[in-house]
Amino acid sequence: MILSRLSDAALLRAGGRQRTDATHVLAAVRTLNRMEFVGETLRAALETLAAAAPDWLTPLISTAWVERYGVKVDNYRFPKGEDVRREWAEQVGRDGFVILDAVDETTDLAWLGEIPAVRTLRRAWTEQYHRDGKGVRWREGKDLPPARDRLSSPYDTDAHYGIKRGPGWCGYKVHLSETCEPDAPHLITNVETTNATVNDTEMTAVIHQRLSERKMVPREHVVDAGYVTAAHILAAREEHGIDLFGPVGMDTCHSG
């Protein structure tokens, strides 16, 4: 609606020059390390189950559980030493499987498995632990799912941990396109929000398609190196008539 009104007022039109860049968006959650994450994920599930089915939960837990999960899990509370910390993490894993197994076995309360916090617990335990005949084991780093497929917070399952030119963050990335004519107002023509792990290069074609659908295709599109490859330059010209400007990364492939 706003873009249509601006077009009617001759403030916005196809052609001309636009630019696109991305910035990070922080999720409204703490950034957690792996031990904090599993502890908080189990604590969140226990808090929810305590409210939804207290009589069912009580026989499953002990006073030791209250000590481990009664308050928010913080890094400073963890034991010192790599072996001891691993044992703590694997104890959390065993406790989590106690809950998940009990949920699966309680056929008369099948709705317990549909509680969002329990579903998050199940997914997180698949990502963070192995369980076989030898017991519950903490996954090694190389055995974890990639960041874009792995939960980063039990409180926002769409948020992921990403890095772009410096420190990382847990959340999202927003790609903003705007006109940049020297003699006209600078107006936002497109906004694309992704999780934090999506590379800028994956969004170039998406942005061009969105601009095309809105009949806002620029003649020149200025972007940074993250959005540009030789293939993007050719596709932009051939598919949309756009001259894509930006630094192309060096070819790191070795010829035979």
CATH of the domain at 217: 3.30.420
153 & 45 share domain: yes
**Same domain? 50 vs 145:** yes
Q: Are residues 136 and 207 both part of a single domain?
A: no
Mean pLDDT to the nearest integer, 195-208:
95
The answer to whether position 51 is within a domain reads yes
91-130 confidence digits (pLDDT tens): 999 999 999 999 999 999 999 999 999 999 999 999 999 9
The model's confidence at residue 73, banded by pLDDT at 50, 70 and 90, is confident
- Dihedral sign from CA coordinates of 57, 60, 62, 67: negative
Total count of domains within the chain = 2
20 with 91, same domain: the answer is no
Question: Within 13 Å and on the Cβ side, how many CA atoms surround 159?
Answer: 19
Residues 65 and 153 in one domain: yes
Nearest by Cα to 24 from 226, 206, 162, 202? 162
Domain of residue 78: give its range.
34-157
Per-residue pLDDT tens over the stretch 24-45: 999 999 888 899 999 999 999 9
Which pTM was predicted? 0.81
Is there a domain that residue 253 lies in?
A: no
Q: Identify whether 256 is part of a domain.
A: no
Enter the DSSP assignment of 225: G
